[in-house]
Chains A and B, each alone.
Chain A
Amino acid sequence: MRFFAAFRIAFRALLRNKMRAVLTMLGVIFGVGADITTVSLGDGARVMVQQQIATMGENVMLIFAGDFRRGGVSFGSGSSSALTMEDVEAIRREVQGVRNVSPEVSTSRQIIAGGMNTSTSITGASPEYFAIRSWTLKDGAFFTDQDVTTAAKVAVIGATASKNLFEGGDAVGQVVRVSMGGSSGGGSIPFTIIGELNAKGASAGSFRDYDDCLIIPYTTAMKRLLNTTSLRGINLQTETMEVMPMVGTQLTNLLRQTHRISGGRPDDFTIRSQDELATAMSSTQETMQYLLGGVAIVSLLVGGIGIMNIMLVSVTERTREIGIRMALGARPRDVLLQFLIEAVTLSCTGGVLGIGLGMLASKILTQVKNWPTLTSPEAIMYSFAFSVIVGIFFGFYPARKAAQLDPIDALRYE
């Protein structure tokens, strides 16, 4: 009952100076807002990475040309030409515990069918690639080893690319023309679509749309499109998750041997398991999130100092009021509670508004920038709790100052 009364008193006091209350809250509003936004961005990115890694396939290992471990975590194009089909053959022959192996080359090209054209990513691979990456067919068939041997001009199309070209119509049996690109002096090659893939669909707001693709035999890609003998990478699927480290060791030994890399020199390839990819990607994000979270906490602290400042001013300004309250029977504790509640009310209201602001900012980022965000209930709870703590922490000193005033001096204060 008395606590409730203290709340009423504090609330009335705040309402008497609305403008100041709002301005004081701003610091906390922006602090909590920034906090919620960064956490939402981080959580959104983390969930997205998890989904992407999961859609990649099961027990997948990737080998890239070049040693990327030096430069931290960058796995872009296979710029050096260290991997060839001989490596793939050697792996097939000698490495234990591997279920499927597929070479991979890739490029991005304009493709045309009828009056429509679109730019899509083209992957050259062996038939095992579909099993490794967990692709399933919606219609038609995958290409075969026979197609690889003959470097057949056949293609399997992804859901997005199919939609872009055929607008929902039947893709299988159609012919698409793949442009040769500028270096070859223009022209294009016709490919027959023999299969259409089911959408993976887990790419909302992602870095790339895995369904926007055209998959063709690697021989066709290397000879007819890219005129190259080197691979971008090698895809592997191990028999179980447990054998991954063992497979990794074998691969390293084998590739160092076939590439004739002697003792002290570094690898000219990089092996990554799915797990490592996940860890690498999320650790980058984690670093970013800690950084942004740090900024948010600093701004929340600044907001807290703002509250303390205004509460100190308020105590001085209302010295006489404190004197009156004490004369009328307020105990020091009552005064302490009143000012503490005022501070906490300020920080809490600011916190709630900040949570709203942060959620709004996250929504806008998702809509406008297409960044994935996820505002978890935990994030909201922590932010709210933190703003309460800020209120108590920064409100305590001014409140204690008010409570320790002598009623006689306070009443006489002009």
Chain B
Amino acid sequence: MSQSTNSTAGEPVIRLKDVHKTYFTGELDVKAVQGVTIDIHKGEFVALMGASGSGKSTMMNILGCLDRVTKGDYLLDGIDVSELDRDELADIRNEKIGFVFQGFNLLARTSALENVELPMLYSRHKTYDDREEKATKALELVGLGNRLDHTPNRLSGGQQQRVAIARALVNDPALILADEPTGNLDSKTSIEIMGVFQKLNEQGITIVMVTHELDIAQYTKRNIVMRDGRVVTDKLVTNRLMAEEELQKLKVASEAIQMIPS
């Protein structure tokens, strides 16, 4: 996966400088984000954490170029996105960001392959003559090479999330943005999905993940904790969990349970 040209060695993929977001809802102005400054560099794997109401969803929307900042600067891959209009934001989302959602958000009654092809259909600056080939490769990368023509209702939750991840990375984005990607999955499947992310991250892909689950955050490299719209903790993960090892442990444990005579 080749990275976009704009990120030179020292320049971060994400640079937030004193970012504010205020919702003007008539009587009461809701200050969802109040002065956040973060740099995230290429190859990082970050968990953005916080309780509900901490501002992490707003941060997610801002990072995903779905929403604009009220005050401050947001540079994505070297581009100042705070000044862009709706169309330009759409193009940025298409080219720079791959989304993974909690609810998978695949198009129903549409094959895995077609779902993964979707971002390429909206690409404005690049034309893809090899859409199908690229989509197939992305699906192979997440271990679904044999499920290309399956529609979402014939896939398990974990498989659907893998399709979503394939869709997120098919455009070679600068950043994969995952919003509670394991929120709808059981613990074993969650670990598997974290394994997919870890594998992609090892290949140099930058990942930012919003989660409120502490143990899931342990699979990332860096945890940023928010409260009341501010960053309260920003630390590298010590004792990082590796998905492969954890799955192995689970396997041993379940075998052990089976060996207990009933």
Asked whether A407 is an interface residue with its Cβ less than 8 Å from the other chain, the reply is yes
Contact A331 B121 (CB under 8 A): no
| CB-defined contacts of A333 to chain B, threshold 8 Å | 87
Assuming the contacts A1-B127, A325-B118, asked whether A331 and B90 have C-beta atoms less than 8 A apart, the reply is yes
Asked whether B22 is an interface residue with its Cβ less than 8 Å from the other chain, the reply is no
Asked whether A408 is an interface residue with its Cβ less than 8 Å from the other chain, the reply is yes
A407–B66 Cα distance when bound, in Å, is 7
Nearest B residue to A324 via CB reads B105
Contact A328 B99 (CB under 8 A): yes
Task: Please report which residues of chain A, range 315-346, place their CB below 8 angstroms from some CB of chain B when the two chains form the complex.
Answer: 320-321, 323-334
A33–B127 Cα distance when bound, in Å, is 42
Question: Contact mask B76-108 → A, CB, 8 Å, 1/0?
Answer: 000000000011001101110001010001111
Tally A residues with Cβ within 8 Å of B.
Answer: 24
Contact B107 A330 (CB under 8 A): no
Asked whether B15 is an interface residue with its Cβ less than 8 Å from the other chain, the reply is no
| CB-defined contacts of A320 to chain B, threshold 8 Å | 105
The distance from the CB of B178 to the nearest CB of chain A, in whole angstroms, is: 13
A329–B117 Cα distance when bound, in Å, is 12
Asked whether A243 is an interface residue with its Cβ less than 8 Å from the other chain, the reply is no
Contact B86 A328 (CB under 8 A): no
Task: Please report which residues of chain A, range 358-391, place their CB below 8 angstroms from some CB of chain B when the two chains form the complex.
Answer: none
Contact A327 B99 (CB under 8 A): yes
The distance from the CB of B120 to the nearest CB of chain A, in whole angstroms, is: 9
| CB-defined contacts of A411 to chain B, threshold 8 Å | 66, 101, 105
Nearest B residue to A409 via CB reads B66
| CB-defined contacts of B105 to chain A, threshold 8 Å | 320, 323-324, 327, 411
Question: Contact mask B103-126 → A, CB, 8 Å, 1/0?
Answer: 001111110001000110111100
Flag the segment in A8-16, A97-105, A257-265 that touches B. Answer: A8-16
Nearest B residue to A410 via CB reads B66
A157–B190 Cα distance when bound, in Å, is 98
Question: Contact mask A248-288 → B, CB, 8 Å, 1/0?
Answer: 00000000000000000000000000000000000000000
Asked whether B61 is an interface residue with its Cβ less than 8 Å from the other chain, the reply is yes
Task: Please report which residues of chain A, range 1-33, place their CB below 8 angstroms from some CB of chain B when the two chains form the complex.
Answer: 1-2, 5, 8-9, 12, 16
Asked whether B167 is an interface residue with its Cβ less than 8 Å from the other chain, the reply is yes
| CB-defined contacts of B109 to chain A, threshold 8 Å | 16
A353–B47 Cα distance when bound, in Å, is 56
| CB-defined contacts of B87 to chain A, threshold 8 Å | 331-333
| CB-defined contacts of B64 to chain A, threshold 8 Å | 327
Contact A328 B167 (CB under 8 A): yes
| CB-defined contacts of A12 to chain B, threshold 8 Å | 110, 114
A327–B119 Cα distance when bound, in Å, is 9
Contact A330 B122 (CB under 8 A): yes
| CB-defined contacts of A8 to chain B, threshold 8 Å | 121
A12–B86 Cα distance when bound, in Å, is 26
Contact B86 A329 (CB under 8 A): no
A16–B99 Cα distance when bound, in Å, is 24
Asked whether B140 is an interface residue with its Cβ less than 8 Å from the other chain, the reply is no
| CB-defined contacts of B101 to chain A, threshold 8 Å | 411
Contact A329 B167 (CB under 8 A): no
| CB-defined contacts of B234 to chain A, threshold 8 Å | none
Nearest A residue to B60 via CB reads A408
Contact B90 A408 (CB under 8 A): no
Question: Contact mask A198-217 → B, CB, 8 Å, 1/0?
Answer: 00000000000000000000
Contact A324 B66 (CB under 8 A): no
Task: Please report which residues of chain B, range 106-156, place their CB below 8 angstroms from some CB of chain A when the two chains form the complex.
Answer: 106-110, 114, 118-119, 121-124, 127
| CB-defined contacts of B99 to chain A, threshold 8 Å | 327-328
Asked whether B67 is an interface residue with its Cβ less than 8 Å from the other chain, the reply is yes
A12–B108 Cα distance when bound, in Å, is 11
| CB-defined contacts of B107 to chain A, threshold 8 Å | 321, 324
The distance from the CB of B137 to the nearest CB of chain A, in whole angstroms, is: 18
A407–B127 Cα distance when bound, in Å, is 24
Which residue of B67, B114, B122, B124 is within 8 Å of A325 (Cβ)?
B122
Contact B86 A331 (CB under 8 A): yes
Contact B61 A326 (CB under 8 A): no
Contacts A327-B64, A328-B93, A332-B90 known; 17 new A-B pairs at CB < 8 A: A12-B110, A12-B114, A16-B109, A320-B105, A325-B118, A325-B122, A326-B90, A326-B93, A328-B94, A329-B91, A329-B93, A329-B171, A331-B91, A331-B122, A334-B90, A334-B122, A408-B66
Q: 4 closest pairs, A vs B, by CB?
A: A329-B94, A329-B122, A331-B90, A16-B109
Which B residues form the contact surface with A (CB < 8 A)?
Answer: 61, 64, 66-67, 86-87, 90-91, 93-95, 99, 101, 105-110, 114, 118-119, 121-124, 127, 167, 171
20 contacts between A and B (CB under 8 A): A1-B127, A8-B121, A9-B121, A16-B108, A321-B108, A324-B118, A325-B118, A327-B66, A328-B94, A328-B119, A328-B167, A329-B91, A329-B95, A329-B119, A330-B90, A331-B86, A331-B87, A331-B91, A333-B87, A407-B66
